[in-house]
Chains A and B, each alone.
Chain A
Amino acid sequence: DTGVSQNPRHKITKRGQNVTFRCDPISEHNRLYWYRQTLGQGPEFLTYFQNEAQLEKSRLLSDRFSAERPKGSFSTLEIQRTEQGDSAMYLCASSSYRDRGYNEQFFGPGTRLTVL
């Protein structure tokens, strides 16, 4: 199957360390989104790409966060100098215009980050 995949599925790190997550979207999906979900809340938008261009970043995305999508395929989300407040589930989603005009996003299983 060619669903959205995310690696790693779990990451435990110490405060102050850097972490990087990877997302592989459904092939030929030109849009890729990152969301963050904390306990008891729904996913919150962080940023999105169309092909390799990062078109919008939420104010939730502090300077310690950076996302890339080189060549418009997979994407990485890096968090520098992690803080305990960064502990969350990081979800990636992809979409194409064929899917209800980008409205339907296909989500990966997420990467759960725990910052000690």
Chain B
Amino acid sequence: DQQVKQNSPSLSVQEGRISILNCDYTNSMFDYFLWYKKYPAEGPTFLISISSIKDKNEDGRFTVFLNKSAKHLSLHIVPSQPGDSAVYFCAASVARSNDYKLSFGAGTTVTVRA
């Protein structure tokens, strides 16, 4: 069963504009959420995360928003740059379970047009 869902397989955005990636989850036990970025032929690399005790976390051009009541999180990239073209995975864990295993969405492929 897919506990983390990314319903948009792809997103195309013009350079300089905002990219908004969405993620929904079904497991109410999840208490930590992460976004990973993946280039071809490389493993996923950590981008930004948020704990369930917060509703927003910002790091440079990247901001993650968490809406626990809706079981929804989003990643905003502003401004988008050509180097942001990659696959973005949303992931979640039950950190308090102490295993920290990650459940991933299927990914969203972002293409930034010049």
- A101-B95, A104-B34, A108-B43 known; A42 and B4 CB under 8 Å? yes
Residues of B within 8 A of A108 (CB): 43
Contacts of A42 in B (CB 8 A): 4, 6, 89, 91, 104-107
- Residues from chain B with a CB closer than 8 A to the CB of A104 are 34, 46, 49
Return the chain A residue nearest B45 by Cβ.
Answer: A107
Shortest CB-to-CB span from A78 to chain B, Å, is: 21
* B19 at the A interface (CB under 8 A): no
Tell me whether A40 and B49 are in contact in the complex, defined as CB-CB below 8 angstroms, given that A55-B99, A104-B34 are known contacts. no
Tell me how many residues of B have a C-beta within 8 Å of chain A. Answer: 25
Q: How far is the CA of A55 from the CA of B100 in the complex (A)?
A: 12
Given contacts A42-B106, A42-B107, A101-B95, contact A48 B101 (CB under 8 A): yes
Bound-state Cα–Cα, A44 to B6, Å: 15
Q: A107 to B107: give the CA distance in the assembly, Å.
A: 16
Q: What is the CA–CA distance of A26 and B106 in the complex, to the nearest angstrom?
A: 26
Binding site for A on B (CB under 8 A): 4, 6, 32, 34, 36, 41-46, 49, 89, 91, 93, 95, 99-107
Give 7 A-B pairs besides A107-B43, A108-B43 with Cβ atoms closer than 8 angstroms: A4-B43, A42-B105, A56-B101, A100-B49, A102-B100, A103-B95, A103-B100
Chain A positions near chain B (C-beta within 8 angstroms):
4, 31, 33, 35, 40-45, 48, 55-56, 91, 93, 95, 100-110
